[in-house]
Chains A and B, each alone.
Chain A
Amino acid sequence: MELVITGLFVGVLFGFVLQRGRFCMNSAFRDIVLFKDYALLKTVAAAILVSMAGFAIMELTGVITLAPKPLWWGANILGSFVFGIGMVIAGGCASGITYRVGEGMVGAMTAVLGLTIGGYITAWGFLKGFRESLQGSTKIMIGEANPTLSNLLGIDYAVLALGIFVVVVVLWFILAWKKYEADKGWGWLTTGFLIGLVAIIAWPLSAATERNYPLGITKGWIVIAKKLLNLTNSEVQLGWISWLIIGTVVGAFIAALIARELKLRVPPIKRLLITFGGGLVMGFGAVLSGGCNITHILSGVPQLSLGSFLAGISIILGAWLASYIMFVRPMKEAESGE
């Protein structure tokens, strides 16, 4: 019962912040090359830094035990690169499409359906063997531990994380504070801070239900699918992360309702098929790499996990490649064509 309540609670907070802050890593990475728009990228950076400081303090005080994801270089590079391509096709990252389900975006619903199916077959279906062999054959450890910047350099995690936090914040104050102006809406700093705060709250509550990790998206959806396929089997249960996802959709729904942004929006049919396909690719990539953008970039990078760094870079490169092919090149051709 505890996992239902705390999962839903954190999920509602997460969904509310995602919707009001328009938090989407697909936009964050794609908009750099497409519009030279850096607003959401700054939000992502702020969220990572705030989480990092929070995780470090919680680790120092014994509230949490770090749980960096494994480094499977082959699976991280291939899975996350493909995930990055998929999210551009789907029109949103794992968290972006999830909160937009609550807003009533039908294109996001088909993307989530694709994500769930793609993830399911890679986790438990016919791609399971391929996934396990690629993950197993490219796994690297440092001693008995999953590699992090901290155990690579031999510096205590809390010291290193807080050090990075302080250096970046000080540099930002020196270089950019005067140029800071609030955007329309919540603004990147507010959103980034609140997303980081949700991640900090999430971790100990999730760990209390024996899932020792902060936020995630994809696993939550595929476990919901598993339960729906095994309704009568009481051994298949929704875990904390699935309740988090249900809460996230509800939270985004509430936020959209309050902001009067709730509307069932249906794009052209062709677009629905494309976002479904993009979702399939995302699901495959996320499960192969051991997580989506939330698991790796938002939750793993603040733990200084090397697997998550590799996954994060691969997601960005995949997103840039797909953005160039799908949007940047056609835009240039359209402009020079006439």
Chain B
Amino acid sequence: MTEEITPTKTLDVCGEICPYPDMNTMTTLKKMQKGDVLEVLLDYPLSVERIPRNLKKQGHKLLSDEGLGGPNHRFLIEAYGLK
């Protein structure tokens, strides 16, 4: 199903340490239009659990969380769009 969605933007935070995966994801999402889709590539386990937990508070929507083997994950997030 997720292959059908074309992300508006891609953010690669692989290798990054705490809390940059979360922070970069949140700040990028805030600058996006409503309905834009952000693709996040990450490999830090704590952020894989924490980002989905905190997305909802900002109104963003996690469309999919795809495991890419090992700690690697690919998130598709729909921006709430304050802009």
- B57: nearest residue on chain A (CB-CB)? A36
Is residue A334 contacting chain B, with contact meaning CB distance below 8 A? yes
* Closest-CB distance, A65 to chain B (whole angstroms): 37
Kindly state the separation between the CA atoms of A193 and B16 in the bound complex, as whole angstroms: 29
* Closest-CB distance, A108 to chain B (whole angstroms): 7
| A to B contact number (C-beta, < 8 Å) | 86
- B53 & A261 in contact (Cβ 8 Å cutoff): no
Kindly state the separation between the CA atoms of A30 and B17 in the bound complex, as whole angstroms: 14
Is residue A98 contacting chain B, with contact meaning CB distance below 8 A? no
Is residue A80 contacting chain B, with contact meaning CB distance below 8 A? no
B-contact bits for A27-50, CB 8 A (1 contact / 0 none): 100110011110100000000000
- Give chain B residues whose Cβ lies under 8 Å from the Cβ of A271: 16-17, 20
- A260 & B70 in contact (Cβ 8 Å cutoff): yes
* Closest-CB distance, B26 to chain A (whole angstroms): 7
* Closest-CB distance, B36 to chain A (whole angstroms): 15
- A107: nearest residue on chain B (CB-CB)? B17
Question: Known contacts A262-B70, A265-B44; is A327 also within 8 Å of B23 by CB?
Answer: yes
The contact of A37 among B18, B45, B50, B72, by CB within 8 Å, is B50
- A184 & B52 in contact (Cβ 8 Å cutoff): yes
Is residue B30 contacting chain A, with contact meaning CB distance below 8 A? yes
Besides A261-B70, A262-B71, 17 other A-B contacts (C-beta < 8 A): A22-B45, A22-B46, A24-B46, A31-B50, A39-B53, A91-B17, A91-B19, A105-B17, A105-B44, A183-B49, A185-B49, A261-B45, A265-B14, A267-B20, A271-B20, A335-B31, A338-B31
A interface list, Cβ under 8 A from B: 22, 24, 26-27, 30-31, 34-37, 39, 91-92, 96, 103, 105-108, 183-185, 256, 259-263, 265-268, 271, 275, 327, 331, 334-335, 338
